[in-house]
Structures are given as structure tokens and as C-alpha cells.
Structure 1
Amino acid sequence: MRVECKCGHRGRIASREKFSVDFVKLYCQCLDAKCGHTWVAELTFSHTLSPSAQSFERMLLDRLKEMPRAKQRELFEQLGTQAVA
């Protein structure tokens, strides 16, 4: 992904802060030494144009792996209580 400074020169993404699978803050800086501008850009998922070729189960497993263990346990506990009801 390329970023551009307001001065028109190329910039670089120095770091990123991932808030979720769909939202990331990008910390950027201009590559022009005379400018030196630094800024934060936000990258967000908008919508799907063509669905993934991966199976639903594969995508579900990938999302579960990204979650903290405590959140995984909470979801499985909820599933367990719903299966009994």
C-alpha cells in the first residue's frame, strides 16, 4: 500500500495499530526530508465485491485464532449453554 503526503511526495507507513480485523490506524511519515510531515491515517474495511473462495469454516477458524483465549472460551461457553437449551 502506498501513502502520499499532503505536500505531494511519497510517504511511508512507520507503524500500525490494529483495532480489529476491519480497522487499523496507520502512522505515516513523509519521505521528503524538507517536509518531515507525520500523520495518522485510518484504514477500514468497506464492503465485499466478490466473496472469498475460502470455505466458511476456514474463515471462522482463522477469526477464532485471532481472538484472545479468554474471548474464545467465552464464545464456546455460550455455544455450550445454547446447545443444551
Structure 2
Amino acid sequence: MADRAPTINRPMVEAPLKFRLQPGGKRGGDGCFVRCPKCDAPGMIRRSDRPTPTVTQMTVHCTDSACGHTWRADIVFVHTLAPGNIERPDLDLPVCPKSELVHVRPPSRDGPEGQDSLFD
């Protein structure tokens, strides 16, 4: 007669996963994950391929063990915000239209009374 696994008659304990590391051994924050489209839990990137210079394909696993969703996601180049210093004439990298750029300007020197200005 084969041995059977023991039956556990108590609730299971849920423990958070703790293997979130960034390069250099730093603890990864919530921003280093892709959100699961089913349960909104962080998804861990398990594999990535770069079929072209402008496309990265990733295999992602949901970290919520109750969900268990696995999916493929693509990161696709959209447009250049700042062209940088390296020339790549072999790539057609469109530039963001000026109407879509976000412009950040320093506050006016005539700010609220009693507020010090960094620009004086």
C-alpha cells in the first residue's frame, strides 16, 4: 500500500515573496513590476527577448499565487523626446511632436509673498 501525504487540517499561511532585487542587489520597489491585467498584483518579468531595436518582448508571471496568471507583454518604442548624442542613421526613430511635449518652466519671480525664490 502506497504512503499517502498527511492531511493538514488548519488554514494555510500566506507569506509575501521577498526575492525582489534590482541590479546591484538593491531591493526593487513596486515600480519595477508590470501589473497583472487580471488581479492588478505586481507581475515579475521572467524572460525578455529583443527581436528588433525598438521592440522588447517579455514573459511575465503574476506574483499573486491565487491568480497565477502568466502572459506576454511588449515594450514598443513610440517616439523620441530628446535625441541624445549617439547617431543611428540605420534606425528610423520618430521625434515627439512639439505639441505633445510637456514644458516645465521655473516659477515666476513674483511668487507668493513670504516665499523665498531659488532664482534670486
Q: TM-score, normalised by structure 1?
A: 0.61
- The one of 48, 62, 68 aligned to 1:30: 62
Structure 1 residue aligned with 2:80: 48
* Structure 1 moving runs of 4+ over 2 Å: none
Q: 2: distance between equivalents of 1:5 and 1:44?
A: 18
Q: In the comparison of the two structures, how many residue pairs are matched?
A: 58
Q: CA deviation at 1:2?
A: 2.4
Matches within 5 A, 1:70-81: none
RMSD: 1.8
Find the structure with the greater CA-based Rg: 2
Q: Could you tell me the percent identity over the aligned residues? A: 31
Greater share of strand:
1
Q: TM-score, normalised by structure 2?
A: 0.44
Structure 1's unaligned 5+ residue stretches are: 64-85
Structure 2's unaligned 5+ residue stretches are: 1-31, 92-120
Q: 1: distance between equivalents of 2:72 and 2:34?
A: 11
- For the structure 1 residues 51 and 34, does the alpha-carbon distance in structure 2 shift closer, same or farther, using more than 3 Å as the test? same
- Relative contact order higher in (CA < 8 Å, ≥ 6 apart): 1
Q: CA deviation at 1:24?
A: 1.2
Whether 1:16 aligns to 2:28 is: no
